[in-house]
Every structure is written in C-alpha cells, then in structure tokens.
Amino acid sequence: MVLKKLDGNNRQRKTAVQRFKNRVPMPAMMDKKKQDVLVIDAALKALYNDGDKVIRSLNDEILKPNHINIPEKDSGRIWDIMVNTGLVNPVIGFGNSGKLSLTNEGYQLMTQFGSYSAFLDEKNRQVQGQNMMFPQFIIEQQQAGGEEKEGKEEEGGEKAVGRKDEK
C-alpha cells in the first residue's frame, strides 16, 4: 500500500492521507442505454445546430469535440442505431467514410422535441397513458316511431355514433 512506503517521511504521509480523505466519490456508472441516448443526443445536436455544415464525421467532428471517449465497438453500435432509426443517413462517396447527415425525420424530431432524450421521454409518457386522447363513442338507441335515415341499420336498432361538438 502507498502509506506503508511513506513510513519514513512524516510530511509526505500526512499529505497523502489528506488526499485520500478529500477525495470525491466517483459518480455511479450509467447503463449502456443511457450512455447511448447521451451520445445520440450529442450527435443529433451537432448535426442540427450547424446548419451551414450538414455533413459531419461521427468520431472526429462529434465525439472528440464533446470529449466523448467510447470504444470503436460501441461507436459502431451507436452508428447502427442512428442509421436504423432513420434519423441520420451515412454519406456515401470517396473520403466520406464515417460521416453522417441528418434526414428529414431527424430534422422534424429536433425541431419538435429539441433532443433525442426529450423525444424518448415524451414517447414513454404516451406509453404510460399520460397525455393520450381517446375518441369518445356513444351508442344511441333509435326510437321505434322515429324517422329512418339513409343507410342500413344494425340489428337491434343500435348504432355507434361519434360525438361531435358543434359550435
């Protein structure tokens, strides 16, 4: 251990002990899904915010300037996720290896939600049943002496009719 090596010098030992006492605990590691969302957010923001430059290299112009260090395997996996969702297109041509451009769907997502994480949050809210609008249907029974309308009536005299709010 480090402190055993510092037995002879008392001053160095005290400073080393103080450093160990003052250390800030490391933050908890995020799971892969959250890391992927953060990287995709950074990529989409970089492609969307630079309107004059619509083609960017994933590694050189998106990940490195944002100080995102991920292994090559994870970079390829994130590349596949972004391309398969239809938010970005890979640029094809000589010298364009590893470059991306934003698709129309990607522009719409960024314009509407501002980020990929905000889009996922809204999608999760809708799945949980919040902010969902369901049409209301009312079943009305026709009276026996009522006028017949055009079209065929269902058996039993019941018809499913949607309610319209008239102003």
Instruction: State the 10-residue block means of pLDDT for the chain, 167 residues long.
Output: 56 74 65 86 86 77 86 88 89 82 88 90 82 58 58 52 55
List the chain domain ranges.
32-127
What fold characterizes domain 32-127? Arc Repressor Mutant, subunit A (1.10.10)
pLDDT of residue 59: 84
pLDDT given for residue 127 in this prediction: 80
Cβ pair 48, 54 in contact under 8 A: no
Q: Which residues pair with 101 in a beta bridge?
A: 55, 89
Which residue type does 48 have?
Y
pLDDT at 162: 55
Longest dimension (CA), the chain: 110
The pLDDT score that the predictor gives to residue 92 is 83
| pTM for the model | 0.57
| pLDDT at residue 93, as a whole number | 80
Distance CA 39, CA 66 (A): 9
